[in-house]
A and B are shown apart, each in its own frame.
Chain A
Amino acid sequence: MIVRVAPEAFDPQAETASFVSGRDEPGALASFVGYCRAATEGTEVSELSIDHYPGFTEREIARLAGDIHHRFGCLDLLVIHRVGKIAPGEAIVLVAALAIHRGEAFDAVRILMDYLKTDAPLWKKETGPAGARWIEPRAEDHARRAVAGKEMA
Chain B
Amino acid sequence: MIRLVFLGKLGDAVPAGLSEVALPGEVKTLSDLRDWVGRTAPLLGRAIAAAPTRIVLNQTVAHDMSASVRDGDEIAFLPPMSGG
A residues whose Cβ falls under 8 Å from a Cβ of B: 34, 50-53, 55-56, 59, 61, 81, 92-93, 113, 116-125, 134-137, 141
Which chain B positions have C-beta within 8 A of A55?
A: 59
Q: A136 contacts which of B7, B11, B80 (Cβ < 8 Å)?
A: B80
Please measure, in the bound complex, the distance between the C-alpha atom of A20 and the C-alpha atom of B16, giving whole angstroms.
47
B residues whose Cβ falls under 8 Å from a Cβ of A: 5, 7-9, 11, 51, 56, 59, 76, 78-84
Please measure, in the bound complex, the distance between the C-alpha atom of A70 and the C-alpha atom of B62, giving whole angstroms.
25
Q: A134 contacts which of B5, B9, B56, B83 (Cβ < 8 Å)?
A: B9
Contact A123–B84 (Cβ < 8 Å): no
- Report B63 CB to chain A, min CB distance, Å: 15
Please measure, in the bound complex, the distance between the C-alpha atom of A123 and the C-alpha atom of B83, giving whole angstroms.
6
Contact B82–A122 (Cβ < 8 Å): yes
Contact B76–A120 (Cβ < 8 Å): no
Which chain A positions have C-beta within 8 A of B7?
A: 51-53, 121, 123
Which chain B positions have C-beta within 8 A of A117?
A: 82-84
Contact B82–A53 (Cβ < 8 Å): no
Contact B83–A120 (Cβ < 8 Å): yes
Nearest-CB residue, chain A, relative to B59: A56
Which chain B positions have C-beta within 8 A of A92?
A: 84
Contact B8–A123 (Cβ < 8 Å): yes
Can you list 12 A-B contacts (CB < 8 A)?
A: A51-B11, A53-B7, A55-B59, A93-B83, A113-B84, A116-B84, A120-B83, A122-B82, A122-B84, A125-B9, A134-B8, A137-B82
For the complex of A and B, list the 7 residue pairs with the smallest distance between their C-beta atoms, beginning with the closest. Answer: A123-B8, A120-B83, A122-B83, A117-B84, A116-B84, A134-B9, A116-B83
